[in-house]
């Protein structure tokens, strides 16, 4: 990995970890941070030794959102030319699963970044919110759409229109996060969860992620058809033959990602 300024990268077995690393700015997502994040995620995505990724911040903040100081004087055309939304879309195009390990503030673009991930492990101190309304705008990286699909209209409206924060226990109760755990262990839990997924059949994991995400894009009939094709496709993999043979022979499968 290159020397990044706004993130740190590590590997933990088959898990690639990206730490957002602008602690003084509560990990505000300036353009350079997003570019580095995307670069690191793409490198992990292309690396056969990696099966899943974790994105985290620090205990105080996962991220307090887009960098307001960088955005404040921008025109609409500036924002278009910077291609910010391309960056977000490219993160959502990463093929391997991404777990967000969230502690403290996950606000604005920080909340939206967590929502772009496939699973979220929250510390009990996590707070999810879309405070853009307090600075005269609305979420611009998927918040209005993804929160509404996950939480429903009532709560999404409160968050977007009235700066309502969701604490970790509420986020868990509403299905926004997978786990809410002690602050001491949220990163370990996220790494463990990512590690378990990274040890599973890689092609099936990739197609499983793709199929679940299609549920947000397609009609039920189209989604079922996409799932059916992906299911059939897996019967062309060595891992399907291995997985079913191992079951019948009562032994652990050895996945080859082929
Ligand atoms: N952008 C740039 N800098 C930020 C930032 C942000 N989103 N959030 C925090 N910071 C900076 C602060 O300016 C401050 O820097 P200085 O020390 O240089 O003044 C430092 O981080 C620490 O922040 P605070 O002193 O404000 O810390 P606090 O504990 O008093 O408050 C907070 C914490 C409630 C999270 C507060 O920082 C805050 O409200 N941040 C902004 C949250 C926000 O509005 N996010 C939405 C951004 S817009 C967006 O994300 C659009 C989109 O959809 C893509």
Q: What is the distance in A from the centroid of ligand 1 to the CA of 80?
A: 23
Q: Which of 31, 65, 67, 127, when mutated, tests ligand 1's pocket best, judged by the most ligand atoms within 8 Å of its CB? A: 65
Burial code (b: 16+ CB inside 10 Å, e: under 16) for 6-33 equals: bbebeebebbbbbbbbbeebbbbbbbeb
pLDDT tier for residue 134 given thresholds of 50, 70 and 90 = very high
| CB distance 139 to ligand 1 below 6 Å | yes
Asked whether the predicted pLDDT for residue 74 surpasses 90, the reply is yes
Nearest CA to ligand 1 atom 40: 64
Q: What is the distance in A from the centroid of ligand 1 to the CA of 64?
A: 5
Give the mean pLDDT of 175-196.
98
Instruction: Give alpha helix (H) positions in 1-120.
Output: 31-45, 68-71, 76-82, 84-92, 109-116
| CB distance 66 to ligand 1 below 6 Å | yes
Q: What is the pLDDT of residues 188-230, one digit of tens each?
A: 999 999 999 999 999 999 999 999 999 999 999 999 999 999 9
Q: Which two tokens stand for residue 243?
A: 């997985």
Handedness of CA 232, 236, 240, 246 (dihedral sign): positive
Is the whole model's pTM more than 0.95, yes or no?
A: yes
* Domain ranges across the chain: 7-198, 202-249
Report the alpha-carbon distance of residue 169 to residue 257 in Å, rounded: 37
The CATH code of domain 202-249 reads: 1.10.12.10
Q: What is the distance in A from the centroid of ligand 1 to the CA of 232?
A: 48
Q: Which of 22, 64, 74, 87, when mutated, tests ligand 1's pocket best, judged by the most ligand atoms within 8 Å of its CB? A: 64
Q: With beta carbons less than 8 A apart as the criterion, state whether 144 and 168 touch.
A: no
Contacts of 82 (CB under 8 A, 6+ apart): 31, 74
pLDDT tier for residue 235 given thresholds of 50, 70 and 90 = very high
Asked whether the predicted pLDDT for residue 87 surpasses 90, the reply is no
Q: With beta carbons less than 8 A apart as the criterion, state whether 174 and 151 touch.
A: yes
Report the alpha-carbon distance of residue 129 to residue 17 in Å, rounded: 24
| CB distance 159 to ligand 1 below 6 Å | no
Q: What is the distance in A from the centroid of ligand 1 to the CA of 141?
A: 17
Tell me what percent of the chain is helix, strand and coil, each rounded to the nearest 5: 50, 15, 35
Nearest CA to ligand 1 atom 46: 108
Class of domain 7-198: alpha beta
Report the alpha-carbon distance of residue 105 to residue 64 in Å, rounded: 6
| CB distance 54 to ligand 1 below 6 Å | no
Partners of 9 in the β-ladder: 18
Contacts of 68 (CB under 8 A, 6+ apart): 28, 135
Give the mean pLDDT of 6-26.
98
């Amino acid at each position: 990995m290159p020397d990044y300024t706004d993130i740190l990268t590590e590997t933990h077995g088959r898990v690639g970890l990206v730490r957002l690393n602008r602690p003084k700015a509560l990990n505000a997502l300036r353009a350079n941070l997003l570019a580095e994040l995307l670069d690191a995620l793409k490198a992990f995505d292309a690396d056969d030794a990696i099966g899943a990724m974790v994105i985290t911040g620090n205990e105080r903040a996962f991220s307090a959102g887009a960098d307001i100081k960088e955005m404040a004087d921008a025109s609409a055309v500036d924002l278009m030319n910077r291609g910010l939304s391309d960056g977000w879309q490219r993160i959502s195009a990463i093929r391997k699963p991404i777990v967000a390990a969230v502690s403290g503030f996950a606000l604005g673009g920080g909340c939206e970044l967590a929502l772009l991930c496939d699973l979220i492990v929250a510390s009990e101190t996590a707070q999810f919110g879309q405070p853009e309304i307090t600075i005269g705008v609305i979420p611009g990286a998927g918040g209005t759409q993804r929160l509404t699909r996950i939480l429903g209209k009532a709560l999404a409206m409160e968050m977007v229109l009235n700066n309502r924060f969701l604490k970790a226990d509420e986020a868990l109760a509403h299905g926004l996060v997978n786990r809410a755990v002690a602050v001491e262990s949220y990163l370990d839990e996220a790494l463990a969860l990512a590690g378990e997924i990274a040890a599973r059949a890689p092609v099936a994991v990739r197609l499983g992620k793709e199929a679940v995400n299609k549920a947000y894009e397609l009609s039920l009939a189209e989604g079922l058809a996409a799932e059916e094709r992906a299911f059939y496709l897996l019967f062309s993999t060595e891992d399907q033959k291995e997985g079913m043979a191992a079951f019948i022979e009562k032994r652990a499968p050895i996945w080859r990602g082929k």
